[in-house]
Amino acid sequence: MQNILITGGAGFIGSHVVRLFVKTYPGSTIVNIDNLTYAGNLLNLKDVEQESNYRFIKGDIADRDQVFPLFEKYGFDTVLHLAAESHVDRSIANPMAFVHTNVLGTVNLLNATRHLWKGQYQGKRFYHVSTDEVYGSLGEEGLFTETTAYDPRSPYSASKASSDHFVRAYHHTYGLPVVISNCSNNYGPNQFPEKLIPLFINNIIHKKPLPVYGKGENVRDWLYVEEHAEALDLVLRKGKVGETYNIGGHNEWKNIDLVRLLCKIMDKKLGRAPGTSEGLVTYVRDRAGHDLRYAIDASKLQNELGWKPSLKFEEGLDKTADWYLSNEEWLRQVTSGDYLHYYREQYQDR
Ligand code: NAD
Ligand code: DAU
């Protein structure tokens, strides 16, 4: 890997991946293209922005006039594609943005890659980072495997499923050397406070209501973001071309149980009486089409590439809470301006 393109590197997972790659591959050039939507934040990469093997390009992955010249200029041999619109609630409010970035953006990148590589695929990889949500929703039993039929149920997951299909189609039709992984819910530092864990941490800090959707009985499988970044690095290097790998946390939690644990951790850290934060829990109108349960069978990754997560959830949540408490300025910046409007629109009538 000489010239690596990472898309969406200013976002939550992308910024952890950029940091890992800049440090792990000092002899490679790592280019991060990100158009800095509300979710992209260059503060996430302050500690690596001066590194000599790192470049940042502000650009839209769906714009051919920006993407094709970039590929010509750097001659990428590796593309690690994370850029996306990623929040389910926003996809319910505005599906078109998800079609633009997740579908058109992915196809534009595939076209630019194909145009550059011109059938010379030795040592090349296009790695598409996807989600377990493409598999739909589980009942109380069972796990998603790599062969589970796609059944996306939100505009977000439909757009990610579409992008996965395009990536596979480019492999089958043009032989493009692709790899895909589908991961469960990530959590950790730098996650935008629209997602459950950082939103609730922020609300707890400010003693605001904690809006639990429905009865809080939905189940998610949580993975610490740095562990996901490590798995991505491994799959990129060792994964077989044309294959899909599920990545998961072996860590299923009912939302309400997770929220109770988080409240306990936060009360301790903030020096508040036990039960204070749990008193903020407010059950609100459910998310439309809310998937009941996601859970990943990641045995293929473990058996073939020897990877499994090791961080305990309590420890990961503890580290996450510490990060938000010691990065108040980051939190303050991302929760001002447009965020206030978003928050009102999302939650006022719930
Ligand atoms: P995020 O929303 O935090 O970051 C997305 C980044 O993409 C932002 O920096 C944004 O500015 C950038 N971006 C958006 N549209 C763009 C465009 N048109 N051109 C260039 N850049 C653009 O997302 P995340 O949570 O870090 O997720 C990253 C990837 O991982 C996504 O593909 C997502 O589907 C996938 N994923 C996320 C999770 C999770 O729990 N967060 C789990 C599994 C898979
Ligand atoms: O499974 C992987 C997916 O996980 C990723 O592909 C998505 O990008 C990521 O956003 C995440 O999707 P979820 O919808 O599961 O994450 P979110 O944090 O939005 O919600 C987690 C659970 O918490 C879900 O059941 C909805 C619930 N929830 C969420 C919010 C924001 C609440 O009860 N209240 C809330 O305010």
d(CA 45, CA 9) in angstroms, rounded, equals 9
pLDDT of 107-165, one tens digit each? 999 999 999 999 999 999 999 999 999 999 999 999 999 999 999 999 999 999 999 99
d(CA 19, CA 130) in angstroms, rounded, equals 20
d(CA 226, CA 15) in angstroms, rounded, equals 10
Class for the domain spanning 196-219+253-289+316-343: alpha beta
Identity of the amino acid at 337: G
Q: For atom 7 of ligand 2, which residue has the closest CA?
A: 86
Main-chain phi, psi angles of 27, to 5 degrees: -85, 0
Is 77 an annotated catalytic residue?
A: no
Of all residues in the chain, the percent with pLDDT exceeding 70 is 100
Q: Is 168 exposed, middle or buried (0-12, 13-18, 19+ CB in 10 A)?
A: middle
Strand partners, 78: 4, 125
Is 230 an annotated catalytic residue?
A: no
* Structure-token pair, residue 302: 């473990």
> Which pLDDT score, from 0 to 100, does residue 188 have?
98
What is 3-187+222-247's CATH number? 3.40.50.720
d(CA 62, CA 208) in angstroms, rounded, equals 38
Q: Which of 60, 77, 85, 132 is catalytic?
A: 132
196 lines ligand 2 (CB under 6 A): yes
The DSSP line for 166-211 is HHHHHHHHH---EEEEEE-EEESTT--TTSHHHHHHHHHHTT--EE
Q: How far is the CA of 273 from the centre of ligand 1 (A)?
A: 37
pLDDT of 2-38, one tens digit each? 999 999 999 999 999 999 999 999 999 999 999 999 9
* Residue 96, C-beta contacts closer than 8 angstroms, at least 6 positions apart: none
**228-347-8 Cα angle (round to 5):** 30
d(CA 347, CA 259) in angstroms, rounded, equals 18
* Residue 73, C-beta contacts closer than 8 angstroms, at least 6 positions apart: none
Are 188 and 319 in contact, with CB atoms under 8 Å apart?
yes
Question: Which of 85, 128, 160, 185 for a ligand 2 pocket mutation test, highest count of atoms within 8 Å of Cβ?
Answer: 185
* Residue ranges of the chain that CATH labels 3.90.25.10: 196-219+253-289+316-343
83 lines ligand 1 (CB under 6 A): yes
The answer, yes or no, to whether residue 349 has pLDDT greater than 90, is no
d(CA 46, CA 48) in angstroms, rounded, equals 6
* Residue ranges of the chain that CATH labels 3.40.50.720: 3-187+222-247
255 lines ligand 2 (CB under 6 A): yes
pLDDT of 244-293, one tens digit each? 999 999 999 999 999 999 999 999 999 999 999 999 999 999 999 999 99
Are 28 and 3 in contact, with CB atoms under 8 Å apart?
yes
